[in-house]
């Protein structure tokens, strides 16, 4: 049997796409391997969001080239595919820079992979046109065994692309315009996942709360309404969604946090900056105070809400005072977890053209300060859960025999001692201790919900 190795960089969309590519190649006779050295087909599923992410691809391709040459010297053939957002952004430039690459395929075209691999026997190929048809209609459904292999928590793409055009961001160019999948396709996929034992769905999209998919009668559903439908599926106990934009948090979605126990009390809602002038220059179309008020409203609906966010420091022209506005917003809101980055100028985006770029040294200093504050908040949040009773979805065996590992409603990894539970069970756990990354707890009986 032929073997395929897929390595994904970047966001949850790429993780999902990598699974779909593996599903599709399974029908072409490829088994997935975790070792690149034994693969007949190597796929790098790339990310273009920051310069570092894009550069990584070329250093990895250098290693792949050596491997390909060694294998060819032994008379074995391997094919190399570059997929994802670097493929979309750079297209045939990749063929020029990286001689080992056989196929370049964009995130909206990977359903064409079988045909592209056939063509690649004779020539090097690039497929980055935004297609008219829906790639999801061309993707095979994964087998029950493949779903089970991936565990009890699953991503499900409901929306792709972005029309927001934040001035720093490549996503609208690499993923194209916003498109929502129809309700029936999403529900079918969720039913299939639930049938294979999946307990937690994370609905994903570049702007997931801009969801506006149609049902069979042609009426348009919001994300709030979709969450209500998915919460009815037997077996599905937890619903999450990411990544959301503050401007698309509508009343129906906020109400879902209040009305649906399956919607987890955890929200990833990137704010990027606390300065109104920077937010405006970023084209985020909201102010720091609007974000604060929005958070208050979601917290009223779900008092147990924990938050996470993304931040960019050193956006062009950001002054010390404007950076302090970000620090203040973080102090005001309080985050359970966050991602923060130095601004990275991206080719073709408006912010990259601004002349007042911030120096590396200043960006580094600001990032360190921000990350220290965010880390303090994260630790405080984790320690704050000690003594509390939380539901934990068991996902895998723990580090030691007799232990199992799972996630709290707040996505914290939790280790418990147990010998009578199974993967997929949701157990009620008293948290006894917080380590630097994991929590530790003991099972409180009764109250646990067994997997089906
Ligand atoms: N759609 C999401 C985020 C997608 S990109 C949203 O609107 O928030 C993920 C994160 O990468 C962004 O939230 C931002 O913090 C960061 N990012 C995007 N472009 C960047 C750039 N040019 N430099 C640094 N960080 C960037
Ligand atoms: Fe990028 Fe902004 Fe779209 Fe998020 S909303 S993907 S940051 S352009
Ligand atoms: Fe990266 Fe593309 Fe996701 S640029 S963050 S992989 S949408």
- From CA 307, how far away is CA 315, in angstroms rounded? 23
Indicate the pLDDT class of residue 450, thresholds 50, 70 and 90: confident
Same domain, 376 and 399: no
Cβ–Cβ contacts within 10 Å for residue 115, how many? 11
Tokens of 13: 């969309």
Reference 450, options 417, 423, 412, 419; nearest CA is: 423
Atom index in ligand 1 nearest the CA of residue 351 equals: 22
The answer to whether the CB of 42 falls within 8 A of the CB of 33 is no
173-216 confidence digits (pLDDT tens): 999 999 999 999 999 999 999 999 999 999 999 999 999 999 99
Ligand 3, atom 1, residue with closest C-alpha: 47
Same domain, 328 and 244: no
pLDDT score recorded for residue 363: 98
Tokens of 93: 């430039």
Tell which of 384, 404, 422 closes a domain.
384
- From CA 441, how far away is CA 449, in angstroms rounded? 17
Contacts of residue 137, defined as CB under 8 A and 6 or more positions apart, other chains included, come to none
pLDDT score recorded for residue 254: 98
Reference 200, options 266, 140, 259; nearest CA is: 266
Ligand 2 center to 165 CA (angstroms): 6
Same domain, 350 and 240: no
Tokens of 230: 């998915």
Q: Is position 274 within any domain?
A: no
Tell which of 94, 127, 160 closes a domain.
127
Mean pLDDT, the chain, whole residue set = 95
Q: Which ligand is nearest to the CA of 85?
A: 3
**How many structural domains comprise the chain?**
4
Which CATH number covers residue 88? Answer: 3.40.50.12160
Cβ–Cβ contacts within 10 Å for residue 133, how many? 9
In the chain, the percentage of residues whose pLDDT exceeds 90 is 92
Reference 337, options 260, 415, 409, 259; nearest CA is: 409
337-389 confidence digits (pLDDT tens): 999 999 999 999 999 999 999 999 999 999 999 999 999 999 999 999 999 99
User: Does 446 have pLDDT greater than 90?
Assistant: no
Ligand 3 center to 40 CA (angstroms): 26
The answer to whether the CB of 237 falls within 8 A of the CB of 262 is yes
Substitution candidate for ligand 2 out of 167, 172, 247 with most atoms within 8 A of CB: 172
Average pLDDT estimate for 137-146? 89
Contacts of residue 27, defined as CB under 8 A and 6 or more positions apart, other chains included, come to 140
Peptide bond into 196 cis (omega under 30): no
Ligand 3 center to 433 CA (angstroms): 35
Which is it for strands 125-127 and 179-180: parallel, antiparallel or unpaired? unpaired
Same domain, 42 and 103: yes
pLDDT score recorded for residue 269: 98
Ligand 2 center to 279 CA (angstroms): 13
Which CATH number covers residue 375? Answer: 3.30.750.200
280-334 confidence digits (pLDDT tens): 999 999 999 999 999 999 999 999 999 999 999 999 999 999 999 999 999 999 9
Ligand 3 center to 183 CA (angstroms): 24
- From CA 170, how far away is CA 176, in angstroms rounded? 10
Sign of the Cα pseudo-torsion (48, 51, 54, 56, in order): negative
- From CA 4, how far away is CA 21, in angstroms rounded? 10
Atom index in ligand 2 nearest the CA of residue 245 equals: 5
Q: Is position 366 within any domain?
A: yes
Ligand 2: residues whose CB is within 6 Å?
162, 164-166, 169, 171-172, 206-207, 245
> What is the domain range of residue 438?
389-443
Q: Is position 450 within any domain?
A: no
- From CA 52, how far away is CA 36, in angstroms rounded? 22
Reference 296, options 285, 286, 287, 307; nearest CA is: 307
Q: What share of the chain is helix, strand, coil (3-state, %, to 5)?
A: 40, 25, 40
Atom index in ligand 3 nearest the CA of residue 170 equals: 4
Cα 202 to chain centroid, rounded: 9
Helices (H), 74-109: 84-90, 93-97
Ligand 2 center to 353 CA (angstroms): 18
Same domain, 16 and 75: yes
Atom index in ligand 1 nearest the CA of residue 310 equals: 15
């Amino acid at each position: 049997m032929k073997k395929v190795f897929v390595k994904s960089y970047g966001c949850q969309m790429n993780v999902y796409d990598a699974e779909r590519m593996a599903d599709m190649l399974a029908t072409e006779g490829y088994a997935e391997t975790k070792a690149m050295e034994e693969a007949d087909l190597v796929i790098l599923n790339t990310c273009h969001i920051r310069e570092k992410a894009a550069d990584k691809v070329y250093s990895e391709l250098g290693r792949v080239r050596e491997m390909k040459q060694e294998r060819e010297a032994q008379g074995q053939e391997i094919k190399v595919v570059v997929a994802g957002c670097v493929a979309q952004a750079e297209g045939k430039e990749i063929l020029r820079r990286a001689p080992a690459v056989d196929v370049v395929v964009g995130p909206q075209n990977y359903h064409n992979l079988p045909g592209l691999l056939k063509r690649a026997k004779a020539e090097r190929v690039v497929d980055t046109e935004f297609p008219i048809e829906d790639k999801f209609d061309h993707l095979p459904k994964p087998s029950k065994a493949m779903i089970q292999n991936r565990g009890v928590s699953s991503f499900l793409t409901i929306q792709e692309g972005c029309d927001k055009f934040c001035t720093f961001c490549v996503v609208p160019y690499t993923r194209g315009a916003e498109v929502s999948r129809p309700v029936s396709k999403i529900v079918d996929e969720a039913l299939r996942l639930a049938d294979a034992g999946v307990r937690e769905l994370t609905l994903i999209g570049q702007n997931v709360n801009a969801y506006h998919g149609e049902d069979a009668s042609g009426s348009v559903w919001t994300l709030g309404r979709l969450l209500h439908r998915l919460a009815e599926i037997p077996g599905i106990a937890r619903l999450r969604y990411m990544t959301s934009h503050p401007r698309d948090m509508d009343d129906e979605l906020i109400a879902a946090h209040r009305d649906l126990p399956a919607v987890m009390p955890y929200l990833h809602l990137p704010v990027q900056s606390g300065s109104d002038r920077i937010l405006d220059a970023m084209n985020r179309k909201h102010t720091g105070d609007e974000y604060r008020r929005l958070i208050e409203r979601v917290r009223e609906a779900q008092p147990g809400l924990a938050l996470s966010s993304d931040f960019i420091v050193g956006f062009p022209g950001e002054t010390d005072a404007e950076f302090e506005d970000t620090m203040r917003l973080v102090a005001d809101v309080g985050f359970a977890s966050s991602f923060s980055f130095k601004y990275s100028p991206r080719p073709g985006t408006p912010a990259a053209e601004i002349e007042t770029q911030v120096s590396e040294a200043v960006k580094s200093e600001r990032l360190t300060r921000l990350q220290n504050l965010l880390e303090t908040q994260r630790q405080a949040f984790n320690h704050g859960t000690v003594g509390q009773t939380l539901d934990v979805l068991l996902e895998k065996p723990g580090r030691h025999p007799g232990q199992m590992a799972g996630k709290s409603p707040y996505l914290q990894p939790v280790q418990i001692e147990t010998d009578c539970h199974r993967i997929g069970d949701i157990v009620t756990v008293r948290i006894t201790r917080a380590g630097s990354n994991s929590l530790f707890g003991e099972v409180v009986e009764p109250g646990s919900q067994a997997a089906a």
